[in-house]
Amino acid sequence: MEDEELAKSLLVTQQPGNIQISNGFGSNDTGASASGVTAVLLLSAFVTACSAFAGGFVAGYSAPAESGIIDDLGLSVAEYSVFGSIMTIGGIVGAVLSGKLADIIGRKYTMWILDIFYIMGWLAIYFAKGAWLLDLGRLSLGFGYGLTCYVAPTYLSEITPKNLRGGITSVSMAMIPVSVSVAYLIGSVINWRALALIGAIPCLLLLFGLFFIPESPRWLAKIGREKEFEAALHCLRGKNVNISEEAADIKDYTENIQKIPEDNILDLFQQKYAHLLIVGIGLMVLQQFGGLNGYAYYMNEIFELAGVPSITGFIVVSIPQIPAIALGSILIEKFGRRTLLMVSVTGECLGCFLTGLSFVLQNLNWWMDATPTLMLSGIVVFEVSYSLGIGSIPWIIISEIFPINIKGSAGSICNAVNWFCTWLVSFTFNFLVEWSPAGTFFIYGSMSCLGVLFIAKLVPETKGRTLEEIQESLTHILQ
């Protein structure tokens, strides 16, 4: 009973690809609840955002680079499919190792490691003369991206005071889709080798910035380095700020959290956790099987099939994503997670249907003048809908529904499923398109339609409730 009560008073919050622990009542930030922005905090947020931007650029690279790489290196469709999808193999490995690595060597040193893999990956791609070095570079980039998905939001949430955490973390998360759009735009006007060098720029900024930011105070407290812990907290909050209350809360938290027994990964597959695990895994599958990486990795090929100039296509698709991200961050607390998620997935379904319809009309030689516009409209609708909700909300819901004793194991499973689905979609996309371009997008659209039903029937609404209240509403599942 004592462990059960303690577990109810503490919660684990997970951001995309990360698992971190926070005091459910917000007491870990009490001393900093009204803290202001300091130069060190801003610099730390900027450096962390660079890692997220670098990861998004990795994801967006293969689409604009496809035709140039195939022409210059003479790759077959199968070879380029391997290049496009092998990033996710590295991502899966990085995701599996990220939590343990960050716990052993710290958040900051893990960012050093992921940045080294980023830089090595871009250099390998730039100097590639054949498929093997190209694939090796892409694999290295994927490993760095897999680490980033955990470390970047974990570090930010651990250094940021309560009153600034949401805004700063949201901006950092937004760097991933923003950088995908930037990769599309820049890649439409320069060659693939130059694009690889540009991809290394945020990595160099990250490398330089890591010299000037502190380690996570919470990680330092966790491993018992008290003097360094207090020094890092002072550095982030300001030298003249009284950190005694916040420091005491963090120390109490680190002591209490170790008293709670954690279920291992095999314990997740029990009936009492079935509903939560279905929701978490289902949202990960839905996020990827909607077809995002099919669009992202092979958009240039889609434009060619539809007869749309690549430069025009990339510009038209990229620009609307940024306001969609901003709109989604505003609407999520107004209308709730489930509502915005259903709107977003419905939009994905419509986008896939319009894209598939454009290929049907093209095959039938009907309305040939209108098919490029219809195809562009479908892609824009899809990308805007994704940015509006399905891109981030699944990670938010997962961070809210899992209780503390299974949070780490459940988060690892969901993250691994997400990366596996990413690989599956990216590897099979070209083969599906060779079978039927229209059929490919109708399949993705059908998955989104099923997703709407899944959300309506199984996904709980968590808007307007504290994490404690969410847990209490789910206790009947966990008993």
User: Is residue 253 predicted with pLDDT exceeding 80?
Assistant: no
d(CA 82, CA 437): 20
The pTM (predicted TM-score) of the whole model is 0.72
| CA separation for the pair 424, 294 (Å, rounded) | 10
Nearest by Cα to 125 from 205, 201, 58: 58
Of 411, 460, 450, nearest in space to 12 by CA: 411
Contact assessment for residue 389 and residue 301, using Cβ atoms and an 8 Å cutoff: no
**What contacts 191, CB < 8 A, 6 or more positions away?**
68
The 10s digit of each residue's pLDDT in 436-476 is 888 889 999 999 999 999 999 999 887 765 444 565 576 55
Cα–Cα distance, 223 to 250 (Å, whole number) = 12
Which of 37-51, 100-114, 202-216 ranks highest by mean pLDDT?
A: 202-216
* SS3 (DSSP) at 20: strand
In three-state secondary structure terms, 238 is coil
Q: Which of 55, 52, 76 is nearest to 66 (CA)?
A: 76
**pLDDT at residue 4 in the model:** 40
* Residue 409: pLDDT over 90: no
Q: Cβ-count burial of 387 within 10 angstroms (0-12 exposed, 13-18 middle, 19+ buried)? A: buried
Query: Nearest CA to 110 among 151, 70, 68?
Result: 151
8 A C-beta contact, residue 371 and residue 306: yes
Residue 61 pLDDT > 80, yes or no? Answer: yes
pLDDT of residue 358: 84
Closest CA to 415 of 100, 15, 113: 15
Q: Which residue has the higher pLDDT, 63 or 287?
A: 287
Q: Over 70: is that where the pLDDT of 19 sits?
A: no
What confidence tier does 16 reach under pLDDT thresholds 50, 70, 90?
very low
In DSSP notation, 42-109 reads HHHHHHHHHHHHHHHHHHHHHHHHHHHHHHHH---HHHHHHHHHHHHHHHHHHHHHHHHHHHHH-HHH
Torsions phi, psi for 460 (to 5 deg): -80, 150
Structure-block tokens of residue 243: 């950190």
Tens-digit pLDDT profile for residues 113-170: 999 999 999 999 999 988 899 999 999 999 999 888 878 877 877 787 766 655 576 6
pLDDT of residue 33: 41
Q: Residue 335: what pLDDT? A: 82
Among 191-200, 253-262, 273-282, which range has the highest average pLDDT? 191-200
Instruction: Tell me the average pLDDT of the chain.
Output: 78
Distance CA 117, CA 99 (A): 17
For residue 347, give the nearest of 374, 380, 320 by alpha carbon. 380
Percentage of residues in the chain having pLDDT higher than 70:
80
Cα 296 from Cα 47, distance rounded (Å): 25
> 69-112: per-residue pLDDT in tens?
888 888 887 788 788 778 888 989 988 887 778 878 888 999 99
What is the spatial distance between Cα 327 and Cα 346, in angstroms, rounded to a whole number?
Answer: 17
CA separation (Å) from 178 to 175, 201, 313, 438? Answer: 5, 15, 17, 28
The helix/strand/coil state of 368 is: coil
* Residue 293, pLDDT above cutoff 90: no
Q: How far apart are the first and last CA of the chain?
A: 12
pLDDT, position 27: 37
